[in-house]
C-alpha cells in the first residue's frame, strides 16, 4: 500500500510512517516527488489490510493511504507520478528527448566496433550498443568475445565518449560486466530470470530491461519491480517485439505497449525495431512508428558490412542506412511532440486507474 504524505509533512512524520512499516515486518520505499513524499509499504499484507490502512491514516502528516491492488508497485505511476529520467555519462533518457542507441549486434573485432562506433557517434547516436556475451538460439553459433568484447567496448567509449550498453546473461557475470558497461542489458530470454534481475538490482548502473518475447506487460513490469525492489531505480524498458503467429517478421513490435507503459509506469520506454522485425528494410518505418507512439528512444543494430556479420546481419543497418534514419527521425520526434504537446500523454490519460487493464 502507498502512504501519501501531506505536502507540509515533516521529516519526523515521514520517519514515523517508515518506523511503523518496519515494525509491521514490511519494507519501506520512499519517493520524494516534486510536491510530496509517497511511501510504499511492501510485503505480504493479506488480512491486515483494513487495520493497517486505519493505523497509517491516523499518523500525523499522512494525507491518504491507498491499498494498491496491482501487483507492481515501485514501477507504478501512483508511487512515482513524475517521469523517471535515467542519466548516464551526461545522456538523459526519458526527459522528453529522443535517445538513439546504436551499434553492432555483437562485438566481433576491434576494427568492426571502432568503425561502427565512430560512424554512429558522428550521425548523432547517444549510446553505443554491442554484445560481448551473446544469448544465441544455437550452441554452435558465435557466442561473443566475452571479456575481450567488454574491453573493446570500453575502448570505444574512451574514443567516442558514448556510454555503452551491453548484455549480461547470468548473475555471476554482473560484477564483471558492470565494471565495463554503463548500462546493463537484460535480454528477452532472461526477462524472468529472477536471480539475474535481483543481481542487476544491486548494482549502481542503469538496466535496460527487454520485454520477454512471450511476456505480458504486467509480467514485464513485475520483472522491473524485481530490479527496483532490490535497490536500483534506474530501469529502462525496451519493447523488442513479441512472438505471434506471423512469420514474415522475426517478432511483432507491440507499438501500443509504448503509450500504455507511459500510462502505467514512470520508467522510460524505448523500442528495438531491429529485433522486432529481423529485416533491415523494416527498421526505418518502425523507428518512425515507435517515435510517433512516444518512445523515449530506439536501439538499432548497425554493422559496417552486414553481409559479414557474425550475428543478426539481416536486420543490421549499414552505416549509410543508419545516417538516413538519423536525418529524418529528429524532425519526426519534434513534430510529434509539438502536435501532442509535451508530455505526449494528456494529464487525464496519465491518471492511473482511468483505463481498462
Q: Applying CB under 5 A, does 167 fall inside the site for Mn ion?
A: no
Contact in structure between 251 and 241 (CB atoms under 8 Å): yes
According to DSSP, residue 211 is labeled P
Candidates 125, 312, 316, 322; binder of Mn ion (CB under 5 A) is: 312
Count Cβ atoms below 10 Å from residue 136 Cβ, excluding itself: 15
- Closest CB to ligand PEP among residues 29, 250: 250
Using alpha carbons, list the distances in angstroms from residue 187 to 135, 137, 178, 208, 357.
8, 13, 15, 8, 25
Contact in structure between 206 and 235 (CB atoms under 8 Å): yes
CB of 275 to Mn ion, least distance (A): 6
- Closest CB to ligand PEP among residues 71, 135: 135
- Closest CB to ligand PEP among residues 56, 133: 133
Q: Which does 187 bind (CB under 5 to 8 A by kind): ligand PEP, Mn ion, none?
A: ligand PEP
Own/partner contacts of 343-352, CB < 8 Å, gap of 24 or more, are 343/83, 343/96, 343/262, 344/259, 344/262, 344/294, 345/259, 345/262, 345/263, 345/294, 349/259, 349/263, 350/77, 350/81, 350/262, 350/263, 352/76, 352/77, 352/78, 352/263, 352/264
Cis amide leading into 135 (omega within 30): no
Residues 199-218 that bind ligand PEP (CB under 6 A): 210
How many residues appear in the chain? 357
Residues 93-132 that bind Mn ion (CB under 5 A): 105
CB of 74 to ligand PEP, least distance (A): 23
Q: Which does 149 bind (CB under 5 to 8 A by kind): Mn ion, ligand PEP, none?
A: none
CB of 167 to ligand PEP, least distance (A): 6
Backbone angles phi, psi at 318, to 5 degrees: -75, 170
CA distance 33 to 39: 11
Q: How many residues bind to Mn ion according to rule CB under 5 A?
A: 2
| End-to-end CA separation in angstroms for the chain | 19
Count Cβ atoms below 10 Å from residue 202 Cβ, excluding itself: 14
Q: Which does 296 bind (CB under 5 to 8 A by kind): ligand PEP, Mn ion, none?
A: none
Residues 111-170 that bind ligand PEP (CB under 6 A): 131, 135
Candidates 14, 65, 100, 105; binder of ligand PEP (CB under 6 A) is: 105
- Closest CB to ligand PEP among residues 80, 210: 210
CB of 90 to ligand PEP, least distance (A): 23
Contact letters for Mn ion, residues 57-96 (x by CB under 5 A)? ----------------------------------------
Cell numbers describing residue 213: 518475447
Residues 238-277 that bind ligand PEP (CB under 6 A): 240, 272, 275
Count Cβ atoms below 10 Å from residue 262 Cβ, excluding itself: 24
Nearest partner of 42 among 80, 14, 71, judged by Cα: 71
CB of 47 to Mn ion, least distance (A): 48
- Closest CB to Mn ion among residues 62, 105: 105
Residue nearest Mn ion (C-beta atom): 105
- Closest CB to Mn ion among residues 73, 240: 240
Residues 319-338 that bind ligand PEP (CB under 6 A): none
Positions touching Mn ion (CB under 5 A) are 105, 312
Positions touching ligand PEP (CB under 6 A) are 105, 131, 135, 187-188, 210, 240, 272, 275
Amino acid at each position: 500500500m502507498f502512504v501519501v504524505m501531506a505536502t507540509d509533512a515533516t521529516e519526523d512524520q515521514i520517519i514515523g510512517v517508515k518506523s511503523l512499516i518496519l515494525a509491521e515486518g514490511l519494507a519501506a520505499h520512499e519517493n520524494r516527488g516534486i510536491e510530496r513524499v509517497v511511501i510504499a509499504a511492501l510485503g505480504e499484507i493479506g488480512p491486515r489490510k483494513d487495520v493497517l490502512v486505519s493505523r497509517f491514516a491516523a499518523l500525523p502528516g499522512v494525507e491518504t493511504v491507498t491499498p494498491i491492488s496491482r501487483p507492481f508497485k515501485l514501477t507504478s505511476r501512483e508511487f512515482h507520478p513524475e517521469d523517471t529520467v535515467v542519466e548516464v555519462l551526461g545522456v538523459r533518457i526519458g526527459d522528453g528527448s529522443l535517445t538513439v542507441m546504436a551499434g553492432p549486434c555483437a562485438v566481433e573485432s576491434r576494427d568492426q566496433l571502432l568503425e561502427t562506433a565512430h560512424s554512429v557517434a558522428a550521425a548523432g547516436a547517444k549510446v553505443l550498443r554491442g554484445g560481448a556475451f551473446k544469448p544465441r538460439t544455437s550452441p554452435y553459433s558465435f557466442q561473443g568475445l566475452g571479456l575481450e568484447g567488454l574491453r573493446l567496448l570500453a575502448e570505444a567509449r574512451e574514443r567516442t565518449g558514448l556510454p555503452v550498453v551491453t548484455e549480461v546473461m547470468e548473475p555471476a557475470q554482473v560484477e564483471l560486466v558492470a565494471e565495463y558497461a554503463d548500462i546493463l542489458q537484460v535480454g528477452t530470454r532472461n526477462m524472468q530470470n529472477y536471480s539475474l534481475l535481483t543481481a542487476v538490482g544491486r548494482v549502481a548502473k542503469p538496466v535496460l530491461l527487454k520485454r520477454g518475447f512471450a511476456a505480458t506487460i504486467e509480467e514485464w513490469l513485475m520483472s522491473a519491480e524485481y530490479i527496483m525492489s532490490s535497490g536500483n531505480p534506474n530501469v529502462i524498458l525496451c519493447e523488442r517485439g513479441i512472438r505471434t503467429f506471423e512469420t514474415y517478421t522475426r517478432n511483432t513490435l507491440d507499438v501500443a505497449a509504448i503509450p500504455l507503459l507511459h500510462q502505467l509506469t514512470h520508467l522510460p520506454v524505448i523500442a528495438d525495431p531491429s529485433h522486432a522485425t529481423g529485416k533491415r528494410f523494416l527498421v526505418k518505418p518502425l523507428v518512425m512508428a515507435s517515435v510517433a507512439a512516444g518512445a523515449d528512444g530506439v536501439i538499432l543494430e548497425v554493422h559496417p558490412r552486414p553481409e559479414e556479420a557474425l550475428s543478426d546481419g539481416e536486420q543490421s543497418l549499414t552505416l549509410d542506412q543508419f545516417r538516413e534514419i538519423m536525418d529524418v527521425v529528429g524532425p519526426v520526434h519534434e513534430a510529434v511532440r509539438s502536435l501532442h504537446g509535451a508530455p505526449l500523454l494528456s494529464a487525464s490519460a496519465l491518471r492511473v486507474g482511468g483505463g481498462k487493464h
